[in-house]
Amino acid sequence: MLINSNQTQQKQVRLSLIIPTYNEAKNISLLISQLTQLLDTVIPQQYELIIVDDNSPDLTWKIAQELTMTYPQLKVVNRDHERGLSTAVIRGWEISQGEVLGVIDADLQHPPETLAKLWTEIERGADLVVASRNVEGGGVSEWSLLRRCLSRGAQILGLIILPGIIGKISDPMSGYFFVRRHCLMGCQLNPLGYKILIEVLAKGKIAWISEVGYVFQERKEGESKVSRQHYFDYIRHLVRLRLSVGEFGRFIRFALVGLSGVFVDMTILYLLSDPTTLAFPLTRSKILAAELAIINNFLWNDVWTFGDIAKKQPSKKQKFKRLIKFNLVCLAGLIMNVLLLNICFNLFNINRYLANTIAIAIVTIWNYWINLKLSWRSTEIINNE
Ligand code: GDD
Ligand code: MN
C-alpha cells in the first residue's frame, strides 16, 4: 500500500486522524465528540477524522455514518472483506488529505487530550511524534502482570531482531502517533497485525522523532481484539522487516541464498565424490558442484537479494552481464574455496565437510561484498547534457 501526495486537496487539511474500529458501537459517539471538541480548539477547520471499520457486527459503521450528519469533518470507510488494524489505518491514510497522518484507538484507551501535546511537537518540527507509555508522564492503568510482561516481552524481542528500528523509541508498540505524510511518500507499507508504527519506523524517511507521555486507560466498553495470532503476526512482521530492511537485511538474504547453494554444493559433492556413490575425484566433483551452486545462487540473488537493484536493469543483456560478473566473482571465490578446503583438509587435517563449511563461510563474505560492488552495482546513467 502506497502513501501518495495530497495534491487533490481542496481546503487546507493539516491533520488526518484515522480511527480504526471493530465492534466499537458503544465508544465511537463519545470519542468523536471528544475529538472534535479538542481539535476545534487546536486546529479548527483544518483536520479530518476518518473511521475505518471492518463491517463490525455491532454496526459501528452505521453509527459512524449517522455521525457524519453532525460532524462534516468526519469520513467513514467500511471495508466489507478485509480485517486488520494496521491495514485499516493505511486504508485511511490512503484516502486522507492531511499533511500530517495520525492514528488513535476508538475505545478511549488513548486519551484524546494527548492530541494537543502531539500536535505541539509537530508544530515544533517533529517528523514523527509518538504517544508513549514508557516516558515521563506515561504508564498503563490496571494492566495485569501478564499483559505488562507480554508488552515488554514483545518490545525486547523487537530489540533483539530489529535493534536499529525498535530501539529508536521507548514505546514501539504504541498505536497512537502522528507522522508527516512526506516521510511516507512512495513507501510500500505492508504491515502485519497490530503494529503499524514499526512499519512506519522501518520504511519511513524520518529524521526527527519526538515522544509524549500518556497513560493507557482502562477500556470501559467492549473488549480488546488482541489475540494469540497477533503475537505470531508480530514476530513474522519483525523477521520480514529484518530480511528486507537495510544492508544487514540484504546480507542475511544473500547468506540464506548462499545456504541454499551450500545445500546444492554438498548434495552434488556427495553424489559425485562420496565413496558410497560415484566416487569421482574430489576436485573435479567440487568444481561441478560449485558451478551448479553458483547458478542456483545467481537466480535467487537476482530476484530476491538484489531484486530492487536488478529491476532497474531489466534487459536480458544486463541480466546476462550480471550472471557473467557473478560467475567470475564466484569462480575467484571457488578458487579461494578449493584452496581453503585443501589447506584445512590437507594441512590442518580438518574433516572434509567442516573444512568445506569454513571455506564457504569465508568465501560468502568475499562474494557478497564484491558482488554488491561489482555485479549488481546500480549504474545510474548520468546524462551529461
Ligand atoms: N478496522 C479494524 N479492524 N479495527 C480494529 C481491528 C480490525 O481488525 N482490530 C482492532 N481494531 C481497532 C479497535 O476497534 C480499536 O479501536 C483499536 O483498533 C485497538 O484495538 P484493541 O483491540 O482495543 O487493541 P488494544 O487496546 O489491546 O491495544 C491497542 O493499544 C496498544 C497500545 O497503544 C492497540 O492500538 C495496539 O496496537 C497498541 O500497541
Ligand atoms: Mn484497546
Residue 89 has pLDDT above 80, yes or no: yes
Q: Report, in this order, helix, strand and coil percent for the chain, each rounded to 5.
A: 55, 10, 35
Cα–Cα distance, 199 to 203 (Å, whole number):
6
* Of the candidates 378, 346, 375, 373, the residue with the CA atom closest to the CA atom of residue 359: 346
Report which bound ligand comes closest to the CA of 191. Answer: 1
Pocket perturbation via mutation, ligand 1, pick of 27, 166, 194 by most ligand atoms within 8 A of CB:
194
H helices of 182-315, in order, are 196-203, 228-244, 246-273, 282-300, 307-310
Cα–Cα distance, 146 to 165 (Å, whole number):
25
Cα–Cα distance, 369 to 363 (Å, whole number):
10
**Within a domain: residue 8?**
no
Query: Which residue CA neighbors atom 13 of ligand 1 most closely?
Result: 21
Residue that wins the pLDDT comparison between 231 and 141:
231
**Within a domain: residue 3?**
no
Identify the domain boundary among 244, 278, 303.
244
Distance from the alpha carbon of residue 200 to the mean position of ligand 2, in angstroms: 20
Same domain, 236 and 260: no
Distance from the alpha carbon of residue 58 to the mean position of ligand 2, in angstroms: 16
Give this prediction's pTM: 0.78
Of all atoms in ligand 1, which is nearest to the CA of residue 173? 39
**Within a domain: residue 160?**
yes
Please say whether the beta carbons of 22 and 77 come within 8 A: no
Same domain, 207 and 308: no
**Within a domain: residue 9?**
no
Same domain, 269 and 224: no
Q: Which pLDDT belongs to residue 382?
A: 41
Q: How many domains does the chain have?
A: 2
Average pLDDT over residues 16-41: 97
Same domain, 217 and 250: no
Same domain, 290 and 167: no
Same domain, 279 and 294: yes
CATH at residue 153: 3.90.550.10
Report which bound ligand comes closest to the CA of 24. Answer: 1
Which structural domain, as residue segments, surrounds residue 278? 246-384
**Within a domain: residue 202?**
yes
**Within a domain: residue 188?**
yes
Distance from the alpha carbon of residue 106 to the mean position of ligand 2, in angstroms: 8
Same domain, 240 and 195: yes
Q: What is the pLDDT of residues 252-289, one digit of tens each?
A: 899 999 889 989 999 999 999 999 999 999 989 988 99
Q: Give the contacts of 269 (CB within 8 A, at least 6 positions apart).
A: 285, 286, 289, 356
Query: Which residue CA neighbors atom 23 of ligand 1 most closely?
Result: 224
Same domain, 125 and 227: yes
Same domain, 214 and 273: no
Average pLDDT over residues 102-113: 96
Kindly tell me the sign of the dihedral angle through the C-alpha atoms of 290, 291, 296, 300.
positive
Q: Per residue in 245-262, is it b (16+ CB within 10 Å) or e — as a string?
A: beeebbbbbbeebbeebb
Cβ < 6 A, ligand 1 pocket? 20-22, 24, 52-54, 83-85, 88, 105-107, 109, 173-176, 194, 216, 224-226
Residue 143 has pLDDT above 80, yes or no: no
Identify the domain boundary among 244, 273, 302.
244
Same domain, 283 and 219: no
Cα–Cα distance, 321 to 315 (Å, whole number):
10
* Residues with Cβ–ion distance below 5 A, ligand 2: 107, 109
Of all atoms in ligand 1, which is nearest to the CA of residue 53? 1
Question: Average pLDDT over the chain, rounded to whole?
Answer: 90
Average pLDDT over residues 155-182: 92
Q: What is the pLDDT of residues 205-221, one digit of tens each?
A: 999 999 999 999 988 89
Cell of 261: 547453494
**Within a domain: residue 4?**
no
Residue that wins the pLDDT comparison between 246 and 55:
55
Q: Which pLDDT belongs to residue 254?
A: 92
Same domain, 148 and 35: yes
Q: What is the pLDDT of residues 116-140, one digit of tens each?
A: 999 999 999 999 999 999 998 898 8
Cα–Cα distance, 340 to 356 (Å, whole number):
8
Pairing of strands 139-140, 128-132: unpaired
**Within a domain: residue 10?**
no
Q: What is the pLDDT of residues 284-333, one digit of tens each?
A: 998 899 889 999 999 999 999 999 889 888 899 999 999 999 999 988 88
Identify the domain boundary among 226, 244, 262.
244
Please say whether the beta carbons of 50 and 137 come within 8 A: no
Same domain, 98 and 218: yes
